[in-house]
Structure 1
Amino acid sequence: MGRRCRPFSAHTVETGDRRLSPSEHLPESGFSANDDLRPAGPGRGRITFWVITTILSLIIIIAGGSYLYVWNGLRATSPGDVVQVELKAGTSPFNFAEALEEQGIIRNAFLFKYYLRYKHEGPRFQAGVYELRPGMDKQSIIAKLNAGETVKQETIRFTIPEGFTVEQIADTLSKAGYVDKAAFLALADKDQVWPDTDASKNIPKGAKLRHRLEGYLFPDTYEMVKGSKPDAIIDRMLQELDRKLDGLPENWEDQLAANGVDFNGIMTVASLVEREVVVDEERPIVAGIIYNRLKEGMPLQIDATVQYLLDKQKDRLMESDLQVDSPYNTYKVKGLPPGPIASPSVKSIEAALFPKKTDYFYYVTKKDGSHEHLFAETLKQHNQNIAKSNETAKQ
C-alpha cells in the first residue's frame, strides 16, 4: 500500500520541520503585521553618522571662522609712517581705541577694547601725545601707553611775581608774545564758570569787581605747551591756586567763620597783605590789624587799595588821590574792597587765615630800607612812629 496520509487537523499545520500551533497563522502577504516598518539597522546608522558629522563640521567652521576673525582683528596692521595720536586727560581707554583704529594703528577697535578688558589693561594709560607706527603689535602699543612715552612738545615758560595784578599779568604775557593782552583781559573779566577749578567758584556774582579773576591767578613759574590759548593759561593758573589751597592745614576752612569773612574776603585780605608787607614775619601781624579795624568799624585806609585804581603806581599818594570815588578806596569806604587787588602768595593767604592777635590798629613803614614796619595801638603812638620813621630817613 502506499503511505497513509495523516488527517488534517484544525489545531495543527505542518510547515517544513515543525508544526504551527492554532495561534500561529501564515500571513497571506508573507510577513507579519507586527514587523518594524523602519529601515534595517545598517541604513539607520548611516543617517545618524551624517547628521553628527554635519553638526560637528558646522561647529568647526564657526569656531574656525571666529578664531580667524579675532586673530585677524588683533594682528598688527601693515607697516606705515609714524603718526601722532593724542590721549587727552579723562579719555576712556576704550574711546581711545577708536582713535587708534582711525589712525591705522590697530585693525579693529571693538576687539582691541575687549582685549584690554581681558588683560586688565587701560587704567594705567597716561595722557599725552604719542608717536605710534602702523605695524606695531598690540603689546608694544599697550606698553608705550602704560609707560607714558609721550612726545616732548615745545613749551613756553613764564613767571608771574607775587603781588601782580591781572593787568600786570596780561602785560607780561603779551610782551612775551604768548597772548593778546585785550583777549586775555576780556577772559579775566568775563562772568563765566571755570569748571576745572574750585576756588574760582567763590567769586561773588554781581560784585563791582574791577577784574573778575583778580587775585585768583596764582603767582608762580609756569611751563606750558607752545601755542596755548589764553583760556588754557588762565585755567592752569586757577588750578594752581586750588593745588596750593590743598596744601594748607586741614582746618583752614574753619577759619572763614572765625575771621568773620567768606572765601573771597580771605583772598581780599591776603591781597592787601601781599601789597603792604615784604617781611614774612610781619604778614600775620598786618592781617591781624586789618581784622581789628574791621571789627571796630574803622576804615582800613590802606594805600595799596588806592594805588590799585591808578594807571601808574606812585611813590607817594597825594591828598587828591585819596578822594577818588571807588568801592576800592578804603579811605572813603569802610570794610573790605569788593575783591582782591592782586595775586597773593601762599604766605599771605596763610596770614589772612591765621592772623596774629594783637592790640595793634596802626602800622607805618620804616624808611631805613629794611621794609619793616612800626606798629602802634593808638593814634598817638602811630604819629610818634611816623615821626621816628621820618627822622630815620633823614639820617
Structure 2
Amino acid sequence: MSKILKAFMLFLIVAAAGFAGAYYYYQDTLKPPEAGAPVLVEIPQGSSTQRIASILEGNKLIRNAKSFVFYVRQSGKGNQLKAGKYEFTPGESVDDILNRMVQGDVYVSTFQFTIPEGWSVDQIATFLSEKGRVDKGKFLQEVNEGEFTYDFLSGIPDDKRMAYRLEGYLFPKTYEIKEGATEHEIIDRMLAQFQTEWDSSWNEELEKRGLSLHEAVTLASIVEREVLVDSERSKVAGVYFNRLAQDIMLQADATVQYALGKQKDIVTYKDLQLDHPYNTYKVKGLPPGPIAVPGRLSLASVIEPETHSYLFYVTKKDGSGEHYFSETYQQHLKNIALSKRAQK
C-alpha cells in the first residue's frame, strides 16, 4: 500500500472519528437538562431562533443554544415559533418545547376561588365582586338572562317569584379559572361542575318519587341550610318527605331567612308571619326554587332520604350542631324544652 493511500485511509478514519464525536456531542447537547421546577419565560415578538435559544439556555431549559438553533433549522420549524409567555419545566425534551411553541401553547394565568356549600347566588356574586373578579350587576344579569346549554336547565320553571334563575345550580367547590374570565365563563364553569356532580342514576329515583330535578335541588338546598352534621342530612330530608306526604307545611327557618334576604341567628315570631312565597311557615309544599347551592351530600340525601316517622326536629343547642327528632308535636315540645335547658 502506497504512502499516499495510507495517508488517505488515516484521514478517513480520523475524519470519521471526528464526525462521530461531533455527532454524539450534538446528540448529547439535545438531551433534556436535569429536571426542576416550572419556569415562566417570555419570548418577545419578532425573536430570532438564536434569541429564543439564548432565552431557553439562560433558563436552563436546553443544554446548548447552538445545537438548539441547528436542530430547529433542520426541522424547518424556525419560522413557526410563536411569541408569548410559556411555562416550561426543566427536563422537557427539545421536541416538546418546539411543538408547544409551534402550537402557541402559551401560559395562561389563573386564579382560584372557593364557593362553600349553602351560599346563595347573591353571596357568590358579592364574594366574587369583592375579589375583583366580576361586576356584581353583570354577574346577576347573566344568572337570570345568560344562555347556557346544559340539559338540566330546561327543568327550571319560568317562575317570576324566583329571585335568581340559577339559584342552587352554581356548584360549590374550589375552582381554578383563567385570568380575565367573563361573568358568563365563570357561571358556565360552575354549571358544568353541577352537571359533573349530578349522578344520572338519580333521575330514575326522582321519577319514582314523582319529583322533578328542580324540586330535588330545591329540597336539597333547604337540607343544606338546615343541617350542620352530615350524618343527619338524610334524616332531615326524611322529615320533609314525611311532611310533604301528609300535606304539612315544611316550616323550615332557612326559607324564612331567604325570604328576609338576610341571615339571622334567631328567627322571630314576627319573621314567621312574613307573607312571602318562600316562607314555608305560610305556604304549603316546596318554595318556588332553591334557597342556596346544595353540596353533593345534600343532593344525595334527597335522592335517598332516611325512612322513618319523624315529623319534627329541633336543634339541641349543646354545641354539637345535632338535632332532636320526634314523631308528634307533644314530643317536639318536650325536645324544645330539652334544647332550651341545654342552652342554659
Q: TM-score by structure 1 length?
A: 0.62
Correspondence for 1:262 among 199, 202, 212? 212
- State the alpha-carbon separation in 2 of the partners of residues 223 and 274 from structure 1: 24
- State the alpha-carbon separation in 1 of the partners of residues 316 and 78 from structure 2: 76
8 Å contact from structure 2 (residues 257, 263) kept in 1: yes
8 Å contact from structure 1 (residues 194, 200) kept in 2: no
Residue 326 of structure 1: CA displacement?
A: 1.4
- State the alpha-carbon separation in 2 of the partners of residues 80 and 241 from structure 1: 40
Letter of the 1:79 partner, please give it: N
Correspondence for 1:180 among 130, 135, 153? 135
Residue 207 of structure 1: CA displacement?
A: 4.9
Equivalent residue, structure 2, for 1:300: 250
- Is residue 333 from structure 1 mapped to residue 283 from structure 2 by the alignment? yes
Equivalent residue, structure 1, for 2:99: 144
Q: CA RMSD in A?
A: 2.6
Equivalent residue, structure 2, for 1:189: 144
8 Å contact from structure 1 (residues 196, 239) kept in 2: no
Residue 250 of structure 1: CA displacement?
A: 5.4
- State the alpha-carbon separation in 1 of the partners of residues 288 and 340 from structure 2: 33
- State the alpha-carbon separation in 2 of the partners of residues 197 and 329 from structure 1: 30
**1:148/1:217 CA distance change after superposition, 3 Å:** farther
- State the alpha-carbon separation in 2 of the partners of residues 254 and 81 from structure 1: 52
More relative contact order in 1 or in 2 (CA 8 Å, sep 6+)?
A: 2
What percent identity do the matched residue pairs reach? 46
In terms of mean alpha carbon deviation, does 319-328 or 338-347 score higher? 319-328
Correspondence for 1:379 among 325, 329, 332? 329
- State the alpha-carbon separation in 1 of the partners of residues 332 and 263 from structure 2: 25
For 1:235-279, what per-residue CA distance to the aligned partner results, in whole angstroms no more than 9, with x for missing partners? 00000000111xxx6531111122221110000010000000011
8 Å contact from structure 2 (residues 312, 325) kept in 1: yes
**1:382/1:273 CA distance change after superposition, 3 Å:** same
- State the alpha-carbon separation in 2 of the partners of residues 269 and 149 from structure 1: 47
Letter of the 2:253 partner, please give it: D
Correspondence for 1:200 among 153, 161, 182? 153
Equivalent residue, structure 2, for 1:82: 82
- Is residue 233 from structure 1 mapped to residue 175 from structure 2 by the alignment? no
8 Å contact from structure 2 (residues 155, 214) kept in 1: yes
Residue 196 of structure 1: CA displacement?
A: 3.8
* Counterpart mapping for 1:90-129 below 5 A: none
8 Å contact from structure 2 (residues 108, 178) kept in 1: yes
Equivalent residue, structure 2, for 1:343: 293
- State the alpha-carbon separation in 1 of the partners of residues 84 and 98 from structure 2: 16
Residue 391 of structure 1: CA displacement?
A: 0.7
- State the alpha-carbon separation in 2 of the partners of residues 141 and 283 from structure 1: 50
**1:392/1:354 CA distance change after superposition, 3 Å:** same
Equivalent residue, structure 1, for 2:63: none
8 Å contact from structure 1 (residues 288, 355) kept in 2: yes
For 1:343-372, what per-residue CA distance to the aligned partner results, in whole angstroms no more than 9, with x for missing partners? 000000000111011000000001101000
8 Å contact from structure 1 (residues 162, 345) kept in 2: yes
Q: Structure 2: which 5+ runs fail to align?
A: 1-74, 86-94
Equivalent residue, structure 2, for 1:316: 266
**1:257/1:207 CA distance change after superposition, 3 Å:** farther
8 Å contact from structure 1 (residues 194, 201) kept in 2: no
- Is residue 276 from structure 1 mapped to residue 210 from structure 2 by the alignment? no
Equivalent residue, structure 2, for 1:164: 119
**1:379/1:150 CA distance change after superposition, 3 Å:** same
Equivalent residue, structure 2, for 1:153: 108
**1:311/1:208 CA distance change after superposition, 3 Å:** closer
Task: Tell me the SS of whatever aligns to 2:260.
Answer: coil
Equivalent residue, structure 1, for 2:341: 391
Residue 78 of structure 1: CA displacement?
A: 6.5
**1:390/1:148 CA distance change after superposition, 3 Å:** farther
Q: TM-score by structure 2 length?
A: 0.71
8 Å contact from structure 2 (residues 278, 287) kept in 1: yes
Letter of the 2:79 partner, please give it: P
Residue 322 of structure 1: CA displacement?
A: 1.3
Letter of the 1:171 partner, please give it: T
- Is residue 217 from structure 1 mapped to residue 167 from structure 2 by the alignment? no
In terms of mean alpha carbon deviation, does 343-352 or 256-265 score higher? 256-265
Q: Structure 1: which 5+ runs fail to align?
A: 1-74, 86-139
- State the alpha-carbon separation in 2 of the partners of residues 358 and 148 from structure 1: 60
- State the alpha-carbon separation in 2 of the partners of residues 187 and 385 from structure 1: 45
8 Å contact from structure 2 (residues 125, 136) kept in 1: yes
**1:148/1:382 CA distance change after superposition, 3 Å:** farther
Equivalent residue, structure 1, for 2:202: 252
| Structure number with bigger Rg | 1
